[in-house]
A and B are shown apart, each in its own frame.
Chain A
């Protein structure tokens, strides 16, 4: 008995030390070989440029001369005191808030409706997803064509007797932000619906069944069983939506170019305008850093207060 006890640890200690050392070195080499390339590419082309943007933001610089004209926080002061840039932040926040309170409920409602045995469900899915698969450029150009003054959309309104609603959709500063939001909703609500439909597959049918047997109405089942169980998906969607809205560029750049008269400028279009078109790389970088800080603040607050439950220890599960 005592023999087997002393033998125990020796056996579990495994191979001889030399062999273990060799296998440990081998493991290190494997880690470096496998993860190294991804790490290098990621650091070089993602982290380094972001860090460089932070450096450039302290200089007045056109990208050609040496980086010598250090001006401290002047670029930041200039951006934050430019009413156009403050307006741009406002436009981004408008899209953030409107997306959450308009697109969210629409998408949840449609997903709940479509989440039942329905003839041609695959067909609906494909159709609903079409705007999302189209590139922003193509979607924006299409809508630009449709919304031109006296264009197809106005003709359509007239044909259903709504002449009164006709607007200069893309040229009237009071209307254009709403137009932009409508086009964004058209483009992205399908993504939200698909996401929610995917989430709904994870809601066990037994629970809804149980609710029905207990006499709950359709609405009660959705309200008290399905939607709460869908909550993690909704929270992830909201996160993606917020970040996307803050970084809005492609659609705006093609649809309105930020105009008319800055009525749809976003932080990103403002940055490209100054950084590239006017070659003010230092100033453009400061704008990029502000955009990043705002995104980061949103992301951290959101993770801290909303997502904590969903992401709790993503590394603590199922890892040896």
Chain B
């Protein structure tokens, strides 16, 4: 008992002493950190901001002075781009492709990862290694035969021709991220489910899927972003302008309107927005998923 009061007295004394000191000792490293952070933000953002801001000026103004504040802010470039170009078609194509890829990778990936994580069978290690080896087969290496194959299947100039190979090439990273997630779910849950008469699939559907939600969101976000930004496969496969995705559209537009800088800037600005908005929303999941993947 005395010991307790002693320690209380000590704490109180300690507190009193602390109170006598200035509440926050000025930490000189803190401003330094902010300066560094600001410089980084500047280097990162200024080029992008330049494009956004100048999209509100006319080409004549930009040619006269490459760096000036818009006065007044003009929306006409955006109006022109969004009404006359194939912008919305391309947004739609990109969205369909990205959603298709994400759904496909999610469904195929989680089922395969479930088998690798939860079934005991000969060849399981081999199956897992086969999928992980996929990290070494970039689409670049396979692209020539892949193109011929898709041509043979009549998938040139179709979004399916982009979606299916993208699913295939996204599977390795998906499985690598999901397997540890599914493995971490305790065996006891599975035993409990099976004692209660739940089938393997019931266990997967009612217990595994809800519990592996964060992992699924992460692989989904990664697949979506990869598809949204994909260039090589769409470049070779989607020659038809009505089937093109956004990256191809931006490139095409910038060649067609190379004389009209302001329009190109407006188009580029619009094309950047979906990815940035999407990422700002999904930011937490990407970081969380990366942590999991690195530890995995």
Contact = CB atoms under 8 A, between A and B. Distances in A.
Nearest to A318: B183
Interface stretch (B7-15, B16-24, B72-80, B116-124): B116-124
Contact of B142 (A50, A135, A145, A159): A50
Contacts of A126: 279-280, 283
Contacts of A186: 43-44, 47
A142 B254 CA distance: 10
A15 to B, nearest CB: 12
A41 B145 contact: no
A138 interface: yes
Contact of A295 (B67, B108, B136, B229): B136
Interface string A289-300: 101100110010
B112 A39 contact: yes
Nearest to A280: B144
Interface stretch (A79-87, A111-119, A173-181): A111-119
Contact of B187 (A122, A134, A295, A320): A320
A131 interface: yes
Contacts of B195: none
Interface residues of A, number: 92
Interface string B176-214: 000010011001000000000000110000000000000
B33 A116 contact: yes
A45 B201 CA distance: 28
Nearest to B253: A141
A233 interface: yes
B294 A233 contact: yes
Contacts of B276: 130, 133-134
A190 B44 contact: yes
Interface in B244-282: 246-248, 250-251, 254, 261, 264-265, 268, 271-272, 275-276, 278-280
A130 B47 contact: no
A48 B66 CA distance: 51
B60 interface: no
Contacts of A94: none
Contact of B295 (A114, A145, A202): A202
A135 B114 contact: no
A281 B168 contact: no
A127 B29 CA distance: 22
A125 B167 contact: no
B145 A146 contact: no
B164 A292 contact: no
B92 interface: no
Interface string A244-273: 000101100110000000000000100110
Interface in B1-55: 29, 33-34, 36-37, 40-41, 43-45, 47-48, 50-51, 54
A187 B158 CA distance: 30
B171 interface: yes
A156 B230 CA distance: 32
B168 A46 contact: yes
Interface in B113-144: 114-117, 119-121, 125, 127-128, 130-131, 134-138, 140-144
A133 B183 contact: no
Contact of A198 (B128, B137, B287): B287
Contact of A296 (B48, B117, B136, B169): B136
Contacts of A70: none
B29 A38 contact: no
A3 B171 CA distance: 53
A291 B40 contact: no
Nearest to B179: A314
Interface of A: 27-28, 30-31, 34-35, 37-39, 41-42, 44-50, 52-53, 56, 63, 110, 113-114, 116, 118, 122, 124-131, 133-138, 141-143, 145-146, 150-152, 155-156, 159, 186, 190, 194-195, 197-199, 201-202, 218, 232-233, 236, 243, 247, 249-250, 253-254, 268, 271-272, 275-276, 281, 284-285, 288-289, 291-292, 295-296, 299, 314-315, 318-320
Given A45-B165, A243-B135, A295-B141, 15 more contacts: A38-B109, A41-B168, A50-B145, A52-B145, A113-B33, A125-B287, A133-B225, A134-B229, A137-B247, A137-B251, A143-B47, A199-B294, A250-B232, A289-B141, A292-B136
Interface of B: 29, 33-34, 36-37, 40-41, 43-45, 47-48, 50-51, 54, 66-67, 108-109, 111-112, 114-117, 119-121, 125, 127-128, 130-131, 134-138, 140-149, 164-165, 167-169, 171-172, 175, 180, 183-184, 187, 200-201, 225, 228-232, 236, 246-248, 250-251, 254, 261, 264-265, 268, 271-272, 275-276, 278-280, 283, 286-288, 290-291, 294-296
14 contacts: A27-B119, A34-B114, A34-B115, A41-B108, A41-B167, A124-B40, A125-B283, A133-B276, A142-B51, A194-B287, A243-B135, A276-B147, A289-B141, A320-B187
